[in-house]
């Protein structure tokens, strides 16, 4: 183990599909309205992939992150991609990115923890760096969730969007991840789920239709408003800092009411909880890295700032990391 080494984020990037769809546009194809969506979620529009693949979006985000980090793709030791909606069942999104970026020496694999995926991938990168096995890692989170939606289910499809975000991390002895926490509760997994392809061998009779994302919104909300504050408190405790010392909280962008609840429970000013869900919606594993790039490129993070990343998702899963920028 490399004593004192940790993963430090040294570059970020993001990419959204060109097509932005407003609430008013959705109201023309389903029984909904801008007021109904906005008042319940805070979402005004979302980007939906029409021409873009997830691989293309993720590669665009990755190139931005590598450029900011001053690193060539050929230097990467590893590529970790968090997604539940890769373009192909195989090869993985991470391997597709390895090809697109010409990162020949990088080990590449995917992680599926839904909306917690980027946090889980970032913590995996941190563990590899702490072990001394790798020192330069690309972490990507991205989704094309629109292909998994039932566009007749207004309670679910209006919430989600498409896009990808990326972060390059490298070994550092001074800055980086100070403390992390993660968890899973498979016993409650059915409150947010989507089934994969059905068994289709010659000895099985299968006439079921394709499955789409289904969600028990009330149960997910109750899970989130309890779990996210607890995760933040545990991560900051492990980092040896207080919640008051944190400069920014980069939280999963699922619903404005959840963000407001976290703010209230932890007595965090909303000014410390940036949002982009108004124009992005919930992009699952892409949510946190896209928001991180959003605030980074607007100069909202300075070297030495203390940041908390936290999210929750299907599984059920949750995680948080406290770090020094």
Q: pLDDT tens digits, residue range 140-166? A: 999 999 999 999 999 999 999 999 999
Assess whether the region 6-174 and the region 178-324 belong to the same CATH fold.
Answer: yes
User: Per-domain residue ranges for the chain?
Assistant: 6-174, 178-324
Question: Has 115 been annotated as catalytic?
Answer: yes
97: exposed, middle or buried (Cβ count in 10 Å: 0-12, 13-18, 19+): buried
CB 139 within 8 A of CB 80: yes
Residue 311, number of CB atoms within 10 A of its CB: 32
Question: Has 252 been annotated as catalytic?
Answer: yes
As its CATH architecture, domain 6-174 has 3-Layer(aba) Sandwich (3.40)
Catalytic residue, candidates 112, 194, 252, 255: 252
- Say which DSSP state 282 is in: B
Catalytic residue, candidates 10, 23, 112, 115: 115
Question: Has 23 been annotated as catalytic?
Answer: no
Paired residues of 46 in beta bridges:
21
pLDDT at position 1 is 45
pLDDT at position 204 is 86
pLDDT in tens, 65-120: 999 999 999 999 999 999 999 999 999 999 999 999 999 999 999 999 999 999 99
Rounded distance, CA 85 to CA 110, Å?
Answer: 11
Q: Any residues with CB less than 8 A from the CB of 24 and at least 6 apart, and which? A: 34
Does 272 have pLDDT greater than 70? yes
Does 44 have pLDDT greater than 60? yes
Angle, in degrees to the nearest 10, between helices 256-266 and 217-239: 40
Q: Any residues with CB less than 8 A from the CB of 11 and at least 6 apart, and which? A: 64, 65, 66, 67, 68, 69, 70, 71, 167, 168
Does 200 have pLDDT greater than 90? no
Average pLDDT over residues 165-174: 97
Catalytic residue, candidates 23, 112, 255, 282: 282
pLDDT at position 2 is 54
Average pLDDT over residues 251-278: 98
As its CATH architecture, domain 178-324 has 3-Layer(aba) Sandwich (3.40)
């Amino acid at each position: 183990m490399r004593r004192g080494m940790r993963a430090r984020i040294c570059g970020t990037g993001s990419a959204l599909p060109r097509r932005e769809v407003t609430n008013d546009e959705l109201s023309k194809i389903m029984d909904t309205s801008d007021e109904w969506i906005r008042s319940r979620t805070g979402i005004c529009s979302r980007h939906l992939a029409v021409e873009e693949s997830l691989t293309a979006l993720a590669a665009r985000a990755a190139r931005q992150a590598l450029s900011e980090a001053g690193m060539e793709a050929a230097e990467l030791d590893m590529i970790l991609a968090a997604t539940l909606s890769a373009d192909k069942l195989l090869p993985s999104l991470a391997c597709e990115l390895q090809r697109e970026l010409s990162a020949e020496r990088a080990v590449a694999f995917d992680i599926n923890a839904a909306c917690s995926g980027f946090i889980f991938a970032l913590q995996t990168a941190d563990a590899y760096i702490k072990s001394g096995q790798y020192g330069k890692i690309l972490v990507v989170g991205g989704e094309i969730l629109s292909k998994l939606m039932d566009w007749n289910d207004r309670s679910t499809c209006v919430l989600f969007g498409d896009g990808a975000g990326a972060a390059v991390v490298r070994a550092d002895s001074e800055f980086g991840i100070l403390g992390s926490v993660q968890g899973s509760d498979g016993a409650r997994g059915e409150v947010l789920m989507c089934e994969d392809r059905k068994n289709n061998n010659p000895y099985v009779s299968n006439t079921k239709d394709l499955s789409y994302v289904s969600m028990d919104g009330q149960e997910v909300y109750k899970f989130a408003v309890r779990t996210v504050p607890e995760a933040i408190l545990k991560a900051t405790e492990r980092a040896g800092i207080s919640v008051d010392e944190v400069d920014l909280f980069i939280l999963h962008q699922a619903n404005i009411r959840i963000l407001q609840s976290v703010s209230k429970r932890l007595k965090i000013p909303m000014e410390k909880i940036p949002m982009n869900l108004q124009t992005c919606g919930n992009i699952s594993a892409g949510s946190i890295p896209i928001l991180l790039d959003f605030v980074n490129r607007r100069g909202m993070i300075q070297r030495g700032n203390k940041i908390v990343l936290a999210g929750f998702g299907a599984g059920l899963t949750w995680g948080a990391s406290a770090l020094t920028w």
